[in-house]
């Protein structure tokens, strides 16, 4: 890119430039650096998301035409790590449509003054909250799959429709139930029941209550969860574990919201919104005769499937930063973010335990770490070494061990200021051995340093 003339600038800012035309991204970043800013270039959405996770950004200029909605993923990753960062969408001059996920747009190619004005406008808009969609509060993420789910929630929340939430364990089904309740406008409480943790007799009493003398130990009347949820929402988790007899009782309650406490003859009526969840395939259970078809069709009014974390990897930096802040506050520590090696490890892992596993991994790193940032060595071994095994369960040991070795080398190089001789001593190997490892792993130290 040709040299640009000097243009008056505002105070120095940290700016991330993301464009799949790496030469263009580098040229813009170099020009911004020449004006006194600290700018870094990324040549793909994935590289941009990794860089975003380092935090501290003032602004991001991202090519709106990145494939697979990558620009939105970059924007959300930047905001997840730096909520006050302004996002500029670089759009083609031939089709200068606004990008609703950005704080402002600039038609490219653009003049120097226009680019700087767009960056300043994005930073100002972000500071003022202009154009930002309000946070859902419960379900975090900006991947198109999550955006689609929240759109459905916004349309059904205020209706009385029963909602069935499906998805793997740890994907956030209970959080979605809370999201639905909070958007419903109902004045009553959200009452959660883990159906799989109770026996049939205990579950019946838990749901419908009992009267004194109904069974041994029932010394007084007790309201059930349905009655407690009157005017609010009842969330029945692990509904697939309900016994056939309990399924019959639930069918009646869901049809007319009427029931009798255990041992009692008085019929109670409630007004409660019902949300159910399962990590099993209910249609398959119906086909196998293990779940009532009439109950399935009764609860399958609005079905929402929570996606596994591995299919919305662009949300990992945002979620990880959210969990980091919460854990740091609980630990009473100041933790500013993640090192590049730690972000790479988080993005490389396939997260079989989904969002819950990510939360626990970040909490562990914060509680056990000692530095001002989470380093790759603070993360659980399963995150560092499990990514290759998760994706390639039959991979040879050599391939399975390559990723953690790569992360350890990168971390050592970062601490050594990218001096290979110092990093080799820290790793307990000689410089020649380190060179061989770098070659075998296909690691370009110069490229890693420039991206840091």
pLDDT value at residue 304? 94
Q: What is the pLDDT of residue 2?
A: 37
pLDDT interval class at 452 (50, 70, 90):
low
pLDDT given for residue 360 in this prediction: 93
Average pLDDT over residues 293-307: 93
Give start-end residues of each CATH 1.10.8.60 domain in the chain.
316-451
**SS3 annotation, the chain:** CCCCCCCCCCCCCEEEEECCCHHHHHHHHHHHHHCCCEEEEECCHHHHHHHHCCCCCCEEEEECCCHHHHHHHHHHHHHHHCCCCEEEEEEECCCCCCCCCCCEEEEECCCHHHHHHHHHHHHHHHHHCCCCCCCCCCCCCCCHHHHHHHHHHHHHCCCCCCEEEECCCCCCHHHHHHHHHHHHCCCCCEEEEEHHHCCHHHHHHHHHCECCCCCCCCCCCECCHHHHCCCCEEEEECHHHCCHHHHHHHHHHHHHCEECCECCCCCEECCCEEEEEECCCHHHHHHCCCCCHHHHHHHCCEEEECCCHHHCHHHHHHHHHHHHHHHHHHHCCCCCEECHHHHHHHHHCCCCCHHHHHHHHHHHHHHHCCCCEECHHHCCHHHHHHHHHHHCCCCCHHHHHHHHHHHHHHHHHHHCCCCHHHHHHHHCCCHHHHHHHHHHCCCCHHHHHHHC
pTM of the model: 0.61
Q: CATH topology for 14-128?
A: Rossmann fold (3.40.50)
More confident residue, 223 or 35: 35
pLDDT mean across residues, the chain: 82
List, by residue range, all CATH 3.40.50.300 domains of the chain.
144-305
Per-residue model confidence as pLDDT tens digits over 226-252: 888 999 999 999 999 998 988 998 998
> CATH 3.40.50.2300 occupies which residues in the chain?
14-128
Q: Which two tokens stand for residue 372?
A: 């001002």
Asked whether residue 142 carries a pLDDT value surpassing 70, the answer given is no
Q: What is the pLDDT of residue 118?
A: 87
The CATH fold assigned to 316-451 is: Helicase, Ruva Protein; domain 3 (1.10.8)
Assigned architecture for domain 144-305: 3-Layer(aba) Sandwich (3.40)
Per-residue pLDDT of 31-75, as tens digits, reads: 999 888 999 999 988 888 888 877 778 999 999 888 767 788 888
Rounded Cα distance, 52 and 81, in Å: 7
Across residues 313-328, what is the average pLDDT?
A: 83
Tell me the percentage of the chain whose pLDDT exceeds 70. Answer: 86
Residues 388-438 have pLDDT tens digits of 444 444 444 455 556 677 777 887 888 888 888 888 887 778 777 787 777
Give the model's confidence band at 94: pLDDT under 50 very low, under 70 low, under 90 confident, else very high: low
Q: Is the pLDDT confidence value at 116 over 60? A: yes
């Amino acid at each position: 890119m040709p040299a640009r003339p000097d243009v008056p600038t505002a105070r120095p800012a940290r700016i991330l430039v993301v464009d799949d035309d790496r030469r263009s991204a580098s040229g813009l970043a170099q020009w911004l650096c020449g004006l006194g800013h600290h700018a870094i270039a990324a040549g793909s959405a994935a590289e941009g998301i990794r860089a975003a996770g380092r935090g501290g950004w003032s602004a991001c200029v991202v090519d709106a035409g990145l494939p697979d909605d990558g620009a939105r993923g970059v924007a959300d990753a930047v905001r997840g790590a730096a909520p006050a960062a302004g996002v500029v969408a670089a759009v083609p001059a031939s089709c200068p449509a606004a990008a609703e996920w950005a704080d402002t747009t600039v038609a490219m190619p653009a003049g120097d003054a226009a680019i700087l004005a767009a960056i300043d406008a994005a930073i100002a808009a972000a500071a003022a909250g202009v154009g930002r969609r309000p946070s859902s509060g419960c379900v975090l993420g900006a991947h198109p799959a999550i955006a689609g789910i929240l759109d459905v929630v916004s349309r059904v929340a205020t209706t009385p429709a029963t909602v069935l939430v499906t998805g793997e364990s740890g994907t956030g089904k209970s959080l979605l139930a809370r999201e639905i309740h909070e958007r419903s406008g109902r004045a009553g409480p959200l009452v959660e029941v883990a159906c799989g943790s109770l026996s049939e007799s205990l579950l019946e009493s838990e749901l419908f209550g009992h009267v004194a003398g109904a069974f041994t130990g029932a010394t007084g009347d007790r309201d059930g969860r349905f009655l407690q949820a009157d005017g609010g929402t009842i969330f029945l988790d692990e509904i697939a574990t309900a016994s056939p007899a309990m399924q019959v009782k639930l069918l009646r309650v869901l049809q007319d919201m009427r029931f009798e406490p255990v041992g009692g003859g008085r019929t109670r009526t409630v007004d409660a919104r019902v949300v159910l969840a399962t990590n099993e395939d209910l249609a398959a259970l119906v086909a196998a005769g293990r779940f009532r078809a009439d109950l399935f069709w009764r609860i399958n009014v609005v079905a929402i499937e929570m996606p596994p974390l591995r299919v919305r990897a662009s949300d990992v930096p945002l979620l990880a930063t959210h969990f980091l802040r919460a854990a740091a506050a609980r630990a009473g520590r100041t933790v500013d973010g993640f090192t590049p090696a730690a972000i790479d490890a988080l993005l490389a892992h396939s997260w079989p335990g989904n969002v819950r596993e990510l939360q626990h991994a970040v909490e562990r790193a914060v509680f056990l770490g000692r530095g001002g940032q989470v380093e790759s060595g603070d993360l659980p071994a399963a995150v560092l070494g499990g990514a290759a095994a998760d994706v390639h369960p039959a991979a040879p040991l050599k391939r399975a061990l390559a990723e953690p070795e790569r992360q350890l080398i990168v971390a050592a190089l970062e601490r050594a200021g990218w001096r290979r001789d110092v990093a080799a001593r820290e790793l307990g190997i000689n410089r020649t051995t380190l060179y061989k490892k770098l070659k075998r792993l296909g690691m370009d130290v110069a490229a890693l340093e420039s991206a840091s």
